[in-house]
Chain A
Amino acid sequence: MLVPGLVIALIFSYGPMVGLVIAFQNFIPVKGIFHSQWVGLEHFKYIYHLSETREVLWNTVFIALMKIVGGLFAPLITALLLNEIRIKYFKRSVQTIVYMPHFLSWVIMAGILLDVLSPTSGIVNQFLSWLGFDKVFFLGNDKWFPYVLAGTDVLKEFGFGTIVYLAAITAVNPSLYEAAVLDGANRWKQTLNVTIPAIIPITILLTTLALGNVLNAGFDQVFNLYSPSVYSTGDILDTYVYRIGLAGAQYGVATAVGLFKSVISLILISLSYLAAYRFANYRIF
C-alpha cells in the first residue's frame, strides 16, 4: 500500500533534491545537468558579495519575526476575550467571521487589498482623509510596506489561531475554576491564574514551531502585493529566487540561494521541533 506514496515522494520531492547539483554548475538548459560545466562554489561566492543579498536576508528575517510576534499575541488576546462572551450566537459569529480570511488565497486577498488600500480610490484612504490624515500609498511606499505585510498577515491568520487557543481553553478542567472561585478569585484573577497557565504549553508549542519558519516570510503574500518600488524593503528570499531564477534565467545562482535557504531552514525547523519536543512533549506522529 505504501508503494504509490513512495513513488510520488521519490519523483516529486526527492527528484528535485538531485537537481540541487545545478547550484554548483554553470547550468545551461539545453546541455542539461550532465553536460553543464562545474563551477564549484562560484555561485555562493557571487551571492556573498552581492549587496542585495544582505538586504534580502534582513527583510526576510525582519518580516517573519514581526509576523511571528503579531501571530502570537493577536489570537491569544482574541481567544481570551472571546472566552468571556456569554451570548452563544455572538461568540460563534465572531469566530466564523474572523477565521474566514484564512481560507482565502493570497491572490484573492491581494485583489481585495489592492482595492481597499489604493491611494486614489481605496476605502481606507477615504476614511483616513475623512479623519483629516494624509493619504498613504501603503503598497507602494517602501517605508510602510513591511508593516503592511505583517499587519495584513496577522489580519488573515489571527482568526485561525484564535480557534486553536479557544480549543485549548475549552479543554481546561472546570474544577480548577470552581476552586479558584472558592478562594475568592474574580474573573480577572481566574484568567490570570487558571486560563493563562493552562494554555502556556500550546502557546510555547506554536511559537517554537513558528520560529523554525523564520526564513519563510510568505512567498504568496509578498509576490502578490509587491512592486518594483518596494523591492528594497519587501523582497524576501523566495521572491528573490523567483526573480533572478525564472524571470532572470540565472538558474545556477537562484538554485544556490534556494539551497542556502533550504539548508538553514532544515536546521532551524529541526531545532524548533526538538525544542517543541523538549518543552511541550510534541511529537509529529
Chain B
Amino acid sequence: MIQPYSWSRKLFVGFNYTLLAVLSLICLLPLLNVFSVSLSSAAAIEAGKVTLWPVDFTTKAYEFVMRKNEFLVSMGISAKRVALGVSINMLLTMLTAYPLSKEAANLKFRTGYAWFFVFTMLFSGGLIPSYMVVRNLHMLDSIWALVLPGALPVFNVILMLNFFRGLPKELSESAFIDGAGHWQTLWRIIVPLSLPSIATVTLFAIVMHWNEWFYGLIYMNDPIHYPLASYLQTIVVRMDMSSISDPSMILLLSKLNDRSVRAAQIFLGMVPVLCVYPFLQRYFMSGMTLGSVKE
C-alpha cells in the first residue's frame, strides 16, 4: 500500500523525525552532561567549560568514590538486599498467585482472600503506624526492615495470577490425574510455563529494591546500615559531605570538584538499572496490558 508522498506528507515526516529526535535528546542530554562532569577535571568544571563532552579527561572522581568506604559498604547492603528481597518477593508472589488463580469452586472464600490482598493496595496505615510496627518487631537497623515490609508486592501478584489463569486448565488437570499435588503442579507445570511473566516480575522487583531509598532512610538509625539508594539520597540530594573523616580522603577531595564526585556516584548508582531495563521492553508490553481490558 505504498502511496506517492505528497509535499505535506514529506513535510510532516521530516518534522516528525526531528521532533522525536529532540525528545530523545531531552531525555539523554542531562545524563550525558552529568556523565561528562564526572569525567572532567576540577578546573574545567569550575570554568564552566563542560557541557556534553568530558574536558581534561580524568577518572579521579571515580577513584575517589571507589576508595570511599561508606559507598562500598552501602553498595554491599544494596546487593544483599536485592538478592534477599527479590527471592522472597518472587517466592511469595508465586505462592500467593497460584491459589488465587483457581476457580472459586476449588478454593473456598477465593474472592474474600483476593480482596484481603487488594485492600492493602487501596488503604494503608500510613507512615507513622508502619514505622511503629517495624520498631516494635525490633527490626530497625537490620536488613529485614528493608525486605519484609514489602515482601508481598500485591500488584505483581495480580499480574502473575492473571497470567496463570491464561494457561490452559487441561494441563493442571492432567497433572492431577497423574497424581501430582498442588505443590508439584505449581513448580513443575505452571512455573516452567510462566517464565516470560516471571522474568518481567523479577525485573520489576530488582529495579524496585535497587531504587528504593525511603525505608532505608527511616528504618536505619545509623547511616552505616544505609543501602546505596538511601546513601545517595543523603550525599547527592542533601549534599551532606560531613560524614568523611579520614584526613587522606579530605586531602583527595580538596583536589576534586564536588560536582564531579556527586556525578560519579549518581552514575555508579544507576549502572545496574541501566543494564537491566532494556530487557524489560520485550516482556513488558504484554505484562502491562494483562488484566486491563478483557473480552
B190 to chain A, nearest CB (A): 12
User: Among the listed A19, A97, A113, A167, which residue makes an inter-chain contact with B285, where contact means beta carbons less than 8 Å apart?
Assistant: A167
B237 at the interface (CB under 8 A from A): yes
- Mask: chain A, 1-28; 1 = CB below 8 Å from B; 0 = not: 1101110110111111111101000000
A148 at the interface (CB under 8 A from B): no
Report whether A266 and B123 are in contact in the complex, using a CB–CB cutoff of 8 Å: yes
Report whether A100 and B23 are in contact in the complex, using a CB–CB cutoff of 8 Å: no
Complex Cα distance, B45 from A123, in Å, reads: 11
A220: chain B residues within 8 A (beta carbon): 213-214
Closest to A127 in B: B51
B217 to chain A, nearest CB (A): 9
Known: A111-B236, A115-B262. A94 touches B24 (CB 8 A): yes
Known: A98-B23, A220-B214, A246-B131. A262 touches B120 (CB 8 A): no
B73 at the interface (CB under 8 A from A): no
A169 to chain B, nearest CB (A): 11
Interface segment out of the listed A44-52, A54-62, A63-71, A76-84? A76-84
Interface residues of B in 267-281 (CB under 8 A from A): 269-270, 273-274, 276-278, 280-281
Interface residues of B in 1-49 (CB under 8 A from A): 1, 3, 6, 9, 12-13, 16-17, 19-21, 23-24, 26-31, 33-34, 37, 45, 48
Interface segment out of the listed B109-117, B193-201, B246-254? B109-117
A9: chain B residues within 8 A (beta carbon): 116-117, 120, 152, 154
A85: chain B residues within 8 A (beta carbon): 16-17, 20
Total contacts A-B at CB 8 Å: 254
B182 at the interface (CB under 8 A from A): yes
- Mask: chain B, 239-265; 1 = CB below 8 Å from A; 0 = not: 000000000000000000001001101
Closest to B231 in A: A107
A127 to chain B, nearest CB (A): 9
Residue among A12, A85, A159, A258 with most chain B CB within 10 A: A12
A241: chain B residues within 8 A (beta carbon): 126-128
Chain A interface residue count: which class? Answer: 35 or more
B124 at the interface (CB under 8 A from A): yes
Report whether A258 and B127 are in contact in the complex, using a CB–CB cutoff of 8 Å: yes
Complex Cα distance, B277 from A159, in Å, reads: 13
User: Helix, strand, loop or mixed for chain A's interface?
Assistant: helix
Interface residues of A in 94-113 (CB under 8 A from B): 94-101, 103-105, 107-108, 110-113
Complex Cα distance, B210 from A219, in Å, reads: 18
Closest to A266 in B: B123
Report whether B92 and A8 are in contact in the complex, using a CB–CB cutoff of 8 Å: yes
Chain B interface residue count: which class? Answer: 35 or more
Known: A22-B128, A107-B232, A181-B1. A168 touches B289 (CB 8 A): yes
B281: chain A residues within 8 A (beta carbon): 95-96, 99, 163
Report whether A19 and B129 are in contact in the complex, using a CB–CB cutoff of 8 Å: yes
A149 at the interface (CB under 8 A from B): no
Closest to B94 in A: A1
Closest to B120 in A: A13
Report whether B237 and A201 are in contact in the complex, using a CB–CB cutoff of 8 Å: no
Report whether B232 and A103 are in contact in the complex, using a CB–CB cutoff of 8 Å: no
User: Among the listed B126, B151, B182, which residue makes an inter-chain contact with A8, where contact means beta carbons less than 8 Å apart?
Assistant: B151
Report whether A258 and B126 are in contact in the complex, using a CB–CB cutoff of 8 Å: yes
Report whether A163 and B284 are in contact in the complex, using a CB–CB cutoff of 8 Å: yes
Complex Cα distance, B229 from A259, in Å, reads: 28
Closest to B125 in A: A16
Q: Name 13 extra pairs, CB < 8 A, besides A178-B1, A241-B128, A285-B291.
A: A1-B183, A4-B96, A13-B124, A15-B133, A22-B129, A78-B23, A107-B236, A108-B266, A163-B285, A241-B126, A245-B128, A255-B128, A284-B118
Shortest beta-carbon contacts, A-B, top 9: A16-B125, A19-B129, A258-B126, A105-B211, A5-B96, A16-B129, A13-B120, A111-B236, A167-B285
Cβ contacts A to B, 28 pairs, < 8 Å: A2-B99, A4-B91, A14-B120, A18-B125, A81-B19, A84-B12, A93-B24, A94-B21, A96-B278, A100-B27, A104-B211, A104-B273, A105-B211, A111-B236, A115-B262, A121-B48, A164-B285, A167-B289, A186-B3, A202-B292, A220-B213, A238-B127, A254-B128, A255-B126, A258-B126, A282-B293, A284-B158, A284-B291
B residues near A (Cβ < 8 Å) are: 1, 3, 6, 9, 12-13, 16-17, 19-21, 23-24, 26-31, 33-34, 37, 45, 48, 51, 91-92, 95-96, 98-100, 113-114, 116-118, 120, 122-133, 137, 148-152, 154, 157-158, 161-162, 182-183, 186, 207, 210-214, 218, 229, 232-233, 236-237, 259, 262-263, 265-266, 269-270, 273-274, 276-278, 280-281, 284-286, 288-289, 291-294
